[in-house]
Homo-oligomer: A and B are copies of this chain.
Amino acid sequence: MMAADRDAGAPLFQLEAWAGSRLSQVESALERWVTADASPGASHAAPAALVEAMRYAVLDGGKRLRPLLVLAAHEAVVADSRQGAEAALRAACAVELIHAYSLVHDDMPCMDNDVLRRGKPTVHVRFGEASALLAGDALQALAFELLTPDGEAVPALQQARLCSLLARAAGSAGMAGGQAIDLASVGHTLSEAELREMHLLKTGALLQGSVLMGAHCGTPDARALAALQDYGAAVGLAFQVVDDILDVIADSSTLGKTAGKDADNDKPTYVSLMGLERSQAYAQELLTLAQQALQRSGLANTLALAALADMVVNRAH
């Protein structure tokens, strides 16, 4: 599982230990920021029922892959990880809020109509459809709120850049666009190129956006930025290929969500298009592309990014 396996000469990188300490920061930040009084300067408190649904959607669940990509990319580009740390933590939470809102809306009856997520009833099952709709909407707004704190903790230039990257990753030429293609594709035959385009938007844009947001919490040079962009694209696509594989080979209790749904819904997937074996080989190719991108980045500290790419491809759920 460890990326260090790929190179016996590299020092062993302990992904679990690295991720554990970052995740405890992220979890406590989300706990602190997804509350009724998120903005110190706000003149009104958020209603408790709405905040409860938002917290249910966000807290205590998920692999937090996107926040880890933000933090790993940030650590890769700065000499001292305290530099830009507040921006990186906020960016890590913001991408997770966008991810969480997309799951809430995606699970709704008019979309995937899923009742199980992370082993728990989905938000609309627990709180009703209208509350799920509003909680998702409010989570998207909160993501941008987290990126634009008052005071000096995050320079304005960084705030603006992070909002720009997140808005583009989440929007019609990113995640929401990919979901729209997905929606339109049910029951249709897609070419591999079309399937790739769909996933590059639907999942890839936010994963790549996470990497770029983390990088922009430092001041990477053009070579590093281009390499991280390629890394993010490869990891984003690999994530979806592996998701399609797991939907076929894993069971619901391992996944924490309903397995086999894609086939039931007659959705095109990598497995339906290229078969299981070729999909698995493709995932490994994408992992190689991601690792090659890191090698040409010129960055010294890419072990966490490498380990995360490895984890994405070789995960069991």
Q: Which residues of A contact B (CB under 8 A)?
A: 36-39, 42, 44-47, 49-51, 54, 101-102, 105, 108, 110-111, 128-131, 133-134, 136-138, 140-145, 147-150, 156-157, 159-161, 163-164, 166-168, 170-174, 176-177, 179-181, 183-184, 197, 200-201, 205
Given A110-B133, A131-B183, A140-B137, the answer on whether A50 and B176 have CB atoms closer than 8 Å is yes
Given A145-B168, A163-B147, A168-B42, the answer on whether A176 and B111 have CB atoms closer than 8 Å is no
Q: Nearest CB to that of A143 among chain B residues?
A: B167
Closest chain-B Cβ to A92's Cβ sits at a distance in Å of: 17
Residues of B within 8 A of A46 (CB): 171-173, 177, 180
What is the interface of chain A mostly: helix, strand, loop, or mixed?
A: helix
A-B contact pairs, 23 of them (CB 8 A): A39-B173, A44-B200, A45-B173, A46-B172, A47-B180, A47-B184, A50-B172, A111-B130, A131-B183, A138-B176, A138-B177, A138-B180, A140-B141, A141-B168, A141-B170, A141-B172, A141-B174, A145-B168, A149-B164, A156-B156, A156-B159, A156-B161, A157-B160
Closest chain-B Cβ to A43's Cβ sits at a distance in Å of: 8
Given A172-B51, A173-B46, the answer on whether A167 and B144 have CB atoms closer than 8 Å is yes
B44:A177 contact, CB within 8 angstroms: yes
Residues of B within 8 A of A171 (CB): 46, 138, 141-142, 145
Among A54, A172, A174, chain B packs the most CB atoms within 10 A around the CB of: A172
Residues of B within 8 A of A164 (CB): 144-145, 148-150, 159
Q: How many copies does the complex hold?
A: 2
